[in-house]
């Protein structure tokens, strides 16, 4: 037995695997414990055998970047060891994600709660960007919540480092609903601004309790974005018509965000607007966002321990059910236990329209029910 094998065996002995929590296309997740302390961990076993061309890309990405990142708001990779032909990642155990919390209708969010979650997301993201790493798959589902309420960014299966001037990057990243317009237009050179757009969408989703820009296809996603924020003009976003996959999708007027976010404060809307700017170079950066007056205004962000917690039971769910994501093969959602229902795409669109229905004058007659068109 050589030194490497011995070292590996030593590491393996430190962790105890317990029951299976979930399974995906490229990984199986187990709940586990640290042998010496009894601390709960999650062990992600990556299936190696079935991939002809070696290890799965997202596994490599996950190890490569998580090995370097250690921050309060980023999931911690505790150890890596191999077992026969499998690769095992030992990660922090986190019991719920933001999506479960958003969907749990018995929970009520105070503005301070949203502020706290946003601050933690931006802090984690700022740390990634500070280290020149793009996450490229931010969504509520990938923001995990620790038992003490801390929010942690997980699933670095699509992450990569940025600012390399020579390399094109793929535009087929980020779950569709959270994908910025420059990626939808096929830009191969982008920057940290793509993650900021996703955070903006999550911010809006926290307020609405329903996905903000839920497109059904890539084309529909662009339409949905423009319908919500107005079609960009050349001044607003110079050069966007020259992007590789640019297609005109119709003219939509600008509607003020205030119409949809009726209860939000001016600071809130200001930050949201800055996160959802069309011109990526003008979009706010994570560190600028953390200095935004929204975070300093009253109410103070809720203390993490007081944030609403998910009440639903943890149920093992199949991993790798990536909603709306093109890159099906590459993402098994990080290590998290269980959202209760599988119909992830069928999240219901409820009632932002309700108040729009109360119109003062109803003079239009609806004859559609009475006759076929002549």
CB 46 within 8 A of CB 89: yes
Q: What is the dihedral of CA 276, 279, 282, 288, to 10 degrees?
A: 30
CB 304 within 8 A of CB 298: no
| Contact set for another protein, span 97-156 (CB under 8 A) | 105-106, 108, 110, 112, 115, 119, 123, 126-127, 130, 132
CB 213 within 8 A of CB 227: no
Is 97 annotated in the active site? no
Residue 22 counted as an annotated binding residue: yes
| Contact set for another protein, span 153-212 (CB under 8 A) | 162-166, 182, 187-194
Least gap, CB of 39 to another protein (angstroms):
22
Place of tokens 């910025």: 180
| Contact between 311 and another protein per CB under 8 A | no
* Nearest one of 71, 65, 107, 87 to 11, comparing CA atoms: 87
| Contact between 359 and another protein per CB under 8 A | yes
When the beta carbons of 84 and 372 are compared against another protein, the nearer one is: 372
When the beta carbons of 84 and 105 are compared against another protein, the nearer one is: 105
| Contact between 312 and another protein per CB under 8 A | no
| Contact between 349 and another protein per CB under 8 A | yes
Largest distance between two CA atoms of the chain: 86
Between vectors from CA 264 to CA 261 and to CA 265, what angle results, nearest 5°?
A: 145
Paired with 29 in beta bridges are 22, 44
Paired with 42 in beta bridges are 31, 91
| Contact between 273 and another protein per CB under 8 A | no
When the beta carbons of 71 and 344 are compared against another protein, the nearer one is: 71
Q: Is 346 exposed, middle or buried (0-12, 13-18, 19+ CB in 10 A)?
A: exposed
When the beta carbons of 58 and 116 are compared against another protein, the nearer one is: 116
| Contact between 235 and another protein per CB under 8 A | no
When the beta carbons of 35 and 189 are compared against another protein, the nearer one is: 189
Residue 294 counted as an annotated binding residue: no
Interface residue with another protein, options 295, 312, 326, 329 (CB under 8 A)? 295
In sequence order, what are the residues at sequence separation of 6 or more whose Cβ sits closer than 8 angstroms to the Cβ of residue 241? Answer: 234
Interface residue with another protein, options 33, 308, 309, 314 (CB under 8 A)? 308
| Contact set for another protein, span 317-346 (CB under 8 A) | none
| Contact between 240 and another protein per CB under 8 A | yes
- What is the rounded distance in angstroms from the CA atom of residue 333 to the CA atom of residue 22? 10
| Contact between 51 and another protein per CB under 8 A | no
Reply yes or no: is the peptide bond before residue 202 cis, omega within 30 of 0: no
- What is the rounded distance in angstroms from the CA atom of residue 59 to the CA atom of residue 89? 9
Least gap, CB of 189 to another protein (angstroms):
4
* Nearest one of 144, 253, 137 to 194, comparing CA atoms: 137
| Contact between 257 and another protein per CB under 8 A | no
Residue 59 counted as an annotated binding residue: no
Least gap, CB of 360 to another protein (angstroms):
6
Interface residue with another protein, options 211, 280, 324, 333 (CB under 8 A)? 280
Size of the site for another protein (CB under 8 A): 80
- From the annotation, which residues make up the binding site? 21-29, 44-45
- Active-site residue list: 137
């Amino acid at each position: 037995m050589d030194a490497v094998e011995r070292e590996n065996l030593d590491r393996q002995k430190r962790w105890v695997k317990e029951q299976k929590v979930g399974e995906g296309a490229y990984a199986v997740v187990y709940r586990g414990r640290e042998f010496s302390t009894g601390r709960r961990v999650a062990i992600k076993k990556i299936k190696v055998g079935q991939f002809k061309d070696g290890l799965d890309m997202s596994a490599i990405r996950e190890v490569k970047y998580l090995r370097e990142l250690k921050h309060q708001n980023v999931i911690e990779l505790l150890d890596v060891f191999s077992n026969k032909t499998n690769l095992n990642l030992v990660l922090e155990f986190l019991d719920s994600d933001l999506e479960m919390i958003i969907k749990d209708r018995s929970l009520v969010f105070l503005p301070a709660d949203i502020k706290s979650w946003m601050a933690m997301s931006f802090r984690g993201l700022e740390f990634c960007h500070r280290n020149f790493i793009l996450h490229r798959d931010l969504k509520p589902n990938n923001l995990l919540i620790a038992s003490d309420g801390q929010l942690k960014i997980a699933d670095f299966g699509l992450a990569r480092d940025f600012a390399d001037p020579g390399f094109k990057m793929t535009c087929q990243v980020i779950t569709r609903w959270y994908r910025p317009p420059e990626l939808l237009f096929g830009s191969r050179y982008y920057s940290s601004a793509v993650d900021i757009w996703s955070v903006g969408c999550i911010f809006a989703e926290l307020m609405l309790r329903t996905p903000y820009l839920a497109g059904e296809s890539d084309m529909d996603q662009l339409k949905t974005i423009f319908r919500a924020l107005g079609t960009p003009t050349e001044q607003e976003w110079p050069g966007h018509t020259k992007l590789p996959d640019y297609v005109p999708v119709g003219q939509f007027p600008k509607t003020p965000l205030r119409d949809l976010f009726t209860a939000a404060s001016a600071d809130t809307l200001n930050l949201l607007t800055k996160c959802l700017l069309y011109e990526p170079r003008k979009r706010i950066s994570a560190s600028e966002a953390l200095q935004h007056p929204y975070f300093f205004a009253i109410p103070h962000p809720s203390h993490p321990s007081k944030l609403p917690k998910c009440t639903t039971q943890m149920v093992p769910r199949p991993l790798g059910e990536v909603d709306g994501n093109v890159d099906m093969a590459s993402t098994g959602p990080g290590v998290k236990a269980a959202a209760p229902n599988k119909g992830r795409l069928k999240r219901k669109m409820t009632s932002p329209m309700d108040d729009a229905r109360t119109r003062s004058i109803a003079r239009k007659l609806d004859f559609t029910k009475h006759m076929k068109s002549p």
